[in-house]
Amino acid sequence: MAALEDQTPFLFRDSTDKATFDDAVWGRVFNHQRDRSREPLAVCRARTVADVVAAVELGRERNCRVSVRSGGHAWAAWSVRHGAVLVDLANLVDADGSRVSYDEDTQVVSCSPSTTGETLNTFLSAVDGGKGRMFAGGHCPEVGLGGFLLQGGMGWNCKNWGWACESILAVDVVTADARPLRCSTAEHADLFWAARGAGPGFPAIVTRFHLATRPATQLYQSLYMFPIAEFKSALQWVVDLSPTADADTEIVVVTSYLSPSDETPTVLANLTTFKPSLAAAQAALQPIHDSLPSSLSPSATVFCQHTTLAAEYGKQRAANPEGHHYISDNAYVAADGTANIDIAELLAGPFTALPTRKACALWFSMAPTAQRALPDMALSLHSEHYVALYAVWEGGADLAAGSGPSADKDEDGERCAAWVANAMAGIERHSVGSYLGDADFQVRRTRFWSEGAGQRVRAVRRAWDPAGRICGFLDVGDASGVDGLRNEFEWL
């Protein structure tokens, strides 16, 4: 193993010039809210499964942990861990040299964890004249499928089609003791269970996903823009129509500044339907359009406009600019009927008082899928209302050594951190838990699984990684170890 220092794909902190090593550590981290006190021992820019095996063996030899990066989009930069071997999967390919492959007979697509939803759907639509298939990956084009699927995958039309991780048929992994394995319902079923919702606590390194695809369709969109003063009425209209809306229609409400010249945020109700024809899309969207109360006054309306996944990825890219600082948090808010919650009143404060002109707040309808029993998998919490806050700002230095995730001292950063913290303090007591993908375990303790699933996540971690070789969850002080997160509400 000593010869590794003279080989690519390994870069070692003590024998690589600082600029090169820093770029290997941080260059693919999307969020510029970075804690530079975390310094890996080495970076493995893996090209093959053998490279991943070698990285785990290096961790065992040096008695250090191993961390994993797929797309680099985790808001808290979970892949960058102090003293660890960072395995970067950006260049990982299969034995035949492919990043993505497709089986015509089974309609299964296989891909590396760093493959993005945009890349995967471009492949499915373009290769050999188009497969006529799609995969409901993440909305943001830069998000790698590795972290996205391990966390559950709140993908396209999740409210009706279900979680993206439900389409995982098998995963290829390298275990904490450096063994390549395939996991499915028939092989190493406990690891396969954990691969669908354990998130960064998954006790192995995924090297390939095998995914069921779905028929590709056309996309049509209706947009309703309201003055911020109409937030509560506009949101309530959308909340009320969501449970019985067409089953191929995704529904979201966002508040944001749509233009740099806007003096106030805009409330945007976005309804995207996946249909084979304009007539089918009109039939899905017309009842929603007709239900608009006369008391609401949209400042602009677009009805059933044709769009494409490529165009929607472009919008998401513009809404999540590179080179910026981000703080995010989220909650599954309990359904109105069971908890007597006025969701519009609950969200009005944070949704109408954005801390910067690039911040946004999102309500995502999860009805009716939240009313069904989930498959047997680690992902085990959801509700009819998904709420996420994205604080975004420019400038500000990287975090000082040991200063923690919320210590950026520029005024925008302080205002953004306060906005998220204050909003969640009001929302969390009405929640059933949170989604791993938009969370930072260093900032707020909450539930991510049902009680039973949380216990099982910990049991799988202890069984497959008793030494804590795979880094797992980045909590306060990076101290969670093999036991993982406590899976409990801090406020209780």
Residue written as token pair 């010869």: 3
Query: Does 432 lie in the same domain as 299?
Result: yes
Using only C-alpha atoms, what is the Rg of the chain? 22
Q: Which domain covers residue 337, as residue numbers? A: 218-438
**pLDDT at site 492:** 81
Q: How many CB atoms lie within 10 A of CB 270?
A: 19
Two tokens at 186?
């028939």
The helices-and-strands tally (H runs, E runs) of the chain is 13, 19
Kindly indicate the confidence band of residue 2, based on its pLDDT and cuts at 50, 70 and 90.
very low
Residue 194 lies in a domain: yes
CB 316 within 8 A of CB 270: no
CB 396 within 8 A of CB 417: no
pLDDT digits (tens, 9 = 90+) for 161-201: 999 999 999 999 999 999 999 999 999 999 999 999 999 99
Query: Does 271 lie in the same domain as 196?
Result: no
Instruction: Specify burial of residue 60 (Cβ count, 10 A radius: 0-12, 13-18, 19+).
Output: middle
Query: Does 284 lie in the same domain as 310?
Result: yes
CA atoms within 13 A on the CB side of 490: 11
Distance CA(395)–CA(32), nearest Å, equals 9
Examine the fold and report which residue of 197, 215, 233 is the final residue of a domain before the chain moves on. 215
CB 59 within 8 A of CB 86: no
Residue 44 lies in a domain: no
**pLDDT at site 403:** 43
Query: Does 375 lie in the same domain as 333?
Result: yes
Kindly indicate the confidence band of residue 213, based on its pLDDT and cuts at 50, 70 and 90.
very high
Residue 111 lies in a domain: yes
How far is C-alpha 429 from the geometric centre of its chain's CA atoms? 23
Residue 28 lies in a domain: no
Query: Does 418 lie in the same domain as 392?
Result: yes
> What is the arithmetic mean of pLDDT over 303-331?
96
Residue 181 lies in a domain: yes
Examine the fold and report which residue of 215, 235, 250 is the final residue of a domain before the chain moves on. 215
Q: 304 CB contacts (<8 Å, ≥6 apart)? A: 220, 221, 222, 278, 281, 282, 285, 286
Query: Does 264 lie in the same domain as 209?
Result: no
Residue 63 lies in a domain: no
Task: Tell me the CATH number at 182.
Answer: 3.30.465.10
Q: Which residues pair with 224 in a beta bridge?
A: 269, 301
pLDDT digits (tens, 9 = 90+) for 49-65: 999 999 999 999 999 99
pLDDT digits (tens, 9 = 90+) for 215-254: 999 999 999 999 999 999 999 999 999 999 999 999 999 9
Query: Does 246 lie in the same domain as 138?
Result: no
Residue 485 lies in a domain: no
Query: Does 293 lie in the same domain as 211?
Result: no
Q: Is 272 helix (H, G, I), strand (E, B) or coil?
A: strand
Residue 352 lies in a domain: yes
| Average model confidence (pLDDT) across the chain | 93
Query: Does 249 lie in the same domain as 140?
Result: no
Distance CA(133)–CA(169), nearest Å, equals 16
**pLDDT at site 70:** 97
Q: In what order do the strands lie in the sheet with 204-212?
A: 100-103, 108-111, 204-212, 168-175, 180-183
Query: Does 128 lie in the same domain as 243?
Result: no
Distance CA(334)–CA(119), nearest Å, equals 35
Task: Tell me the CATH number at 387.
Answer: 3.40.462.20
CB 144 within 8 A of CB 114: yes
Q: Is the pTM here over 0.85, yes or no?
A: yes
Is the model's pLDDT at 7 over the cut of 90? Answer: no
**pLDDT at site 410:** 81
Distance CA(50)–CA(43), nearest Å, equals 15
Helices (H), 27-144: 49-61, 117-126
Is the model's pLDDT at 408 over the cut of 70? Answer: no
Domain count, the chain: 2
**pLDDT at site 126:** 67
pLDDT digits (tens, 9 = 90+) for 53-109: 999 999 999 999 999 999 999 999 999 999 999 999 999 999 889 899 999 999 999
> What is the arithmetic mean of pLDDT over 352-364?
97
Examine the fold and report which residue of 438, 467, 487 is the final residue of a domain before the chain moves on. 438
**pLDDT at site 260:** 82
Query: Does 375 lie in the same domain as 259?
Result: yes
Query: Does 413 lie in the same domain as 388?
Result: yes
